[in-house]
Structure 1
Amino acid sequence: MDELPIGRRVAYWRGRRKMSQQVFADRLGKSKSWVDKVERGVRRLDKFSVIYEIADTLRVDVQLLLGKDPERRSDALNCIDQTEVQEIRAALERYDAMSAYFDAAPYPPPLPDMRKAVTHAWLTYQYGRYGMLTRSLPKLLRDAQAADAGFGGDDNREAAHLLGQVYQIASSVLRKLGEFDLAWLAADRAMAVAQRADDPLLAGIATTRVGNALVAMGRPFPALEVNVAIANRLAPGGGNDVTPDRLSVYGMLLLQGAMAASRIGDTATVDDLLGGADEAASLLGGDQNHYWTSFGPTNVELHRAAAAVELGDGGRAVEVHQRIGPEFNALLPERRAHHLLDIARGYAQVGDVVNAGEMLLQGDRLAPSEIRCRPIAHEVMSDILRRTRGTPPASIAELAEHMGVGI
């Protein structure tokens, strides 16, 4: 893409960010006609200040707009740069298993090493260290794909299971960082690999990643359908066992179905699915982390609040938040910071920008990347700054600066 004119590069990244010309123009404070002329090359971009503003709006490295290699970033809080995106994309585009069908399989890493690496990646994600995770993902994907292609027999099933988990990790972090197409691709791969791993529960939790990616891409109806369909297949009881693993996966399918329904505005379905998840959590008996779900009674309440926000009922979300007990503090940092971001949105919906800002600050102390790296958090911060009378508090101004959100 380096050989393209800068206007074409602007058009490309605007499309990747799912912005219309009008929305892009509004965020820049320009006219739609101005954007159209820039993208067609009729109007030159000869001011660096404007180019930097465009890059910030599109959330890309300015070097990409200039047709140069982006500068690599090394600090631990870095979210993801376009070099890392391309490396993850290249890793997802590998087809080691198909190559091994025709030729000798690549030398696979030892399975004990892979198990440790996958566990470390899950913990890195659940502690909200997204920059560290995205930098390690390309190698982890390549290693897991090589293991899946290189082992046979029972080892092949375990290797497939590990690869399915790596795809899920990749999907989750890519979705949070705004790379929705890649998130969907990784989740779809996770579902396919789970079938080869012969683990219905792994396929079930992979389904939630597919649903999340579909919702992020603006397709909540198929997300709702797939989550509910697989939940019905995996429901405890009948011919299925009633184990903590199954309860956790089943409960998360219902929760993600509820989130999809909230995007549609289907309050009755939201309540029904949350009720089913609440029953599963009661049977489980407490917050646990089977299949890396963090499922349990507290997580159900967190999703109840999140669904209220998606339905536009910020007041209800705040009420749910205020009744959550001390069990919340035992959850992993990503879950807590994610919830605090949801509640920041809830407070903003009811016009309480002071408490909205406080929620962002609390979330930032728990898992900075959850607040500083997610596009939705940037939107909340922009809203807070716009609606704050006078100069914002120093703590908010400092966080906004770290996030790259202009005051």
Structure 2
Amino acid sequence: MDELPIGRRVAYWRGRRKMSQQVFADRLGKSKSWVDKVERGVRRLDKFSVVYEIADVLQVDVQLLLGKDVERRPETQNCIDQVEVEEIRAALERYDQMSAFFQAVPHSPPLSEMQKAVSHAWLTYQHAKYGVLARMLPKLLRDAQAADSAYAAGTEAKDAAHLLGQVYQIASSALRKVGEHELSWLAADRSIAVSQRAGDQLLAGLASYRVGSALLALGRVRPSLEVNVNIANRLAPSPITEREVRGQRLSVYGMLLLNGAMAAARIGDSATVRDLLCGAEQASLELGGDFNHYWTSFGPTNVQLHRCATAVELGDGRTAVETHEKIDVIGFNAMLPERRAHHFLDIARGYTQIGNVDKASEMLLEGDRLAPSEIRCRPLAHEVLSDVLRRTRGTPPAPIAELAEQMGVGV
């Protein structure tokens, strides 16, 4: 995109941010006609102050608008920046599989190496190391796509497809965390098709979970609810399910129910929330503990975390806080950092709903100590911190003021 004139770059990023010309103009304090002329190149942007203001409204680094390489600052190293998002997008836009239909793939990494790389990527995500993950994802996507093409006609075709399906899901989850919901949906949708080729119902079920999460983030709540519940019903374990796969099936089934409960909460359907949480709780009790089958972190503790999260979505902060105070500490501390920090963010929202900004601040700081990227990189966390600052009387406590400064949230 470097060769594009600045007006075209402005139009591109405005489109990415889902802003109409009128909304963009209003936020800049300009007219719609002014924006239209800038984007068509009729009006020049010759004042740096205006370019910086545009970059601020579009939430991009000003260097991107100027067509220059972004200088990455140390404090952003653990987040996914726009450059890395574009590299992931470019990897998703590759259609080398079609080329492989006509001629052999020149090179593909061994599947044993791919397996190690994919497992490492999952752990990187679950430890909320989003910056590290963003830097490995473009190559991992290209390698997994190449492997899927190279082994398509051989005995290892399903193994290669399975790995690609996992990589698409990792990408979908990471992109959703940083607000790139359309790309998240694309990656999750790709995973569904690949998972079917892999012949793994549980991987396809998890791909449906990622699709449901992306749809929910996009505000497509009812389709999200439907896809989670429909696939959960198809994966519900039966009494004759083999013991060795029953735990995996219960985990994927339970996560689909929990995701459906989140969607139901978004539309205020408390009865459906209650039914889905009960179903997930029964699955977790049958599972007999907290496990990470298929990278789900599913079990009784995760069900309790979702009880808190759905209560927050329903606007019932008090119930969320009361449930939080009853969570088994040992089980909670055994969970991976991403899941725990995510919960602290949910409970910070719950505390703001009941007007306790001190405890909300404490939860944000706990999450930041545990997994900084989960707090500092997520748009939702920025919104919660802004809400805390607005509600704080007088000068905010030094730790919160420092966190706000590091996150670029105005005090």
Q: Would you call these one fold, judging by a TM-score over 0.5? A: yes
- Matching of residue 41 in structure 1 with residue 37 in structure 2: yes
2:118–2:166 Cα contact (<8 Å) kept: yes
Q: Which aligned runs of 4 or more in structure 1 are off by greater than 6 angstroms? A: none
Match of 1:328 in 2: 332
1:381–1:400 Cα contact (<8 Å) kept: yes
- Matching of residue 343 in structure 1 with residue 351 in structure 2: no
Match of 1:397 in 2: 401
Structure 2 counterparts to residues 10-21 of structure 1, below 5 A: 10-19=10-19
What do residues 356-404 of structure 1 show as CA deviations (whole Å, max 9, x unaligned)? 1111110001110000000000111111112211111110111111111
Match of 2:180 in 1: 179
Match of 2:135 in 1: 135
1:142 alignment partner AA: R
Cα distance in 2 for partners of 1:314, 1:57 equals 31
Distance change in 2, residues 1:25/1:398 (3 Å): farther
Cα distance in 2 for partners of 1:199, 1:7 equals 47
Cα distance in 2 for partners of 1:196, 1:245 equals 19
Match of 1:305 in 2: 308
Task: Describe the SS at the equivalent of 2:144.
Answer: helix
1:234–1:240 Cα contact (<8 Å) kept: no
2:347–2:363 Cα contact (<8 Å) kept: yes
What do residues 228-268 of structure 1 show as CA deviations (whole Å, max 9, x unaligned)? 11111110116644611000000001011111111121111
Task: Describe the SS at the equivalent of 1:184.
Answer: helix
Would you say how many aligned residue pairs link Structure 1 and Structure 2? 403
**Farther-moved stretch of structure 1 (393-402 vs 287-296):** 393-402
Cα distance in 1 for partners of 2:374, 2:401 equals 18
What do residues 68-92 of structure 1 show as CA deviations (whole Å, max 9, x unaligned)? 3333456674312222112111111
Per the TM alignment, residue 49 of structure 1 is displaced from its structure 2 partner at its CA by: 4.7
- Matching of residue 113 in structure 1 with residue 128 in structure 2: no
1:337–1:366 Cα contact (<8 Å) kept: yes
1:288–1:296 Cα contact (<8 Å) kept: yes
**Farther-moved stretch of structure 1 (343-352 vs 64-73):** 64-73
Match of 2:368 in 1: 364
1:41 alignment partner AA: K
1:235 alignment partner AA: A
Match of 1:225 in 2: 226
- Matching of residue 291 in structure 1 with residue 294 in structure 2: yes
Match of 1:195 in 2: 196
Distance change in 2, residues 1:104/1:9 (3 Å): closer
What do residues 322-373 of structure 1 show as CA deviations (whole Å, max 9, x unaligned)? 1111111110000000010111111112222111111111000111000000
2:75–2:406 Cα contact (<8 Å) kept: no
Cα distance in 1 for partners of 2:385, 2:298 equals 29
Match of 2:255 in 1: 252
2:202–2:252 Cα contact (<8 Å) kept: yes
Cα distance in 2 for partners of 1:89, 1:207 equals 21
**Farther-moved stretch of structure 1 (94-103 vs 227-236):** 94-103
What do residues 30-69 of structure 1 show as CA deviations (whole Å, max 9, x unaligned)? 65xx263542237876654554344234321111233433
- Matching of residue 263 in structure 1 with residue 266 in structure 2: yes
2:21–2:36 Cα contact (<8 Å) kept: no
Cα distance in 2 for partners of 1:238, 1:25 equals 60
Gaps of 5+ in 1: none
Cα distance in 2 for partners of 1:35, 1:321 equals 48
1:77–1:129 Cα contact (<8 Å) kept: no
Task: Describe the SS at the equivalent of 1:100.
Answer: helix
Q: Which of 353, 358, 366 is the matching residue for 2:357?
A: 353
Cα distance in 2 for partners of 1:350, 1:339 equals 17
Task: Describe the SS at the equivalent of 1:153.
Answer: coil
2:382 alignment partner AA: H
Cα distance in 2 for partners of 1:17, 1:259 equals 24
2:21–2:35 Cα contact (<8 Å) kept: no
Match of 2:60 in 1: 60
2:121–2:170 Cα contact (<8 Å) kept: yes
- Matching of residue 91 in structure 1 with residue 95 in structure 2: no
Cα distance in 1 for partners of 2:112, 2:2 equals 42
What do residues 158-198 of structure 1 show as CA deviations (whole Å, max 9, x unaligned)? 11111110000000000001111110010001111000100
Task: Describe the SS at the equivalent of 2:155.
Answer: helix
**Farther-moved stretch of structure 1 (301-310 vs 364-373):** 301-310
Distance change in 2, residues 1:276/1:315 (3 Å): same
Match of 1:78 in 2: 78
Task: Describe the SS at the equivalent of 2:311.
Answer: helix
Per the TM alignment, residue 307 of structure 1 is displaced from its structure 2 partner at its CA by: 1.0
Cα distance in 2 for partners of 1:21, 1:393 equals 39
Distance change in 2, residues 1:109/1:73 (3 Å): farther
1:306–1:317 Cα contact (<8 Å) kept: yes
1:165–1:190 Cα contact (<8 Å) kept: yes
Gaps of 5+ in 2: none
Distance change in 2, residues 1:46/1:391 (3 Å): farther
Cα distance in 1 for partners of 2:202, 2:48 equals 52
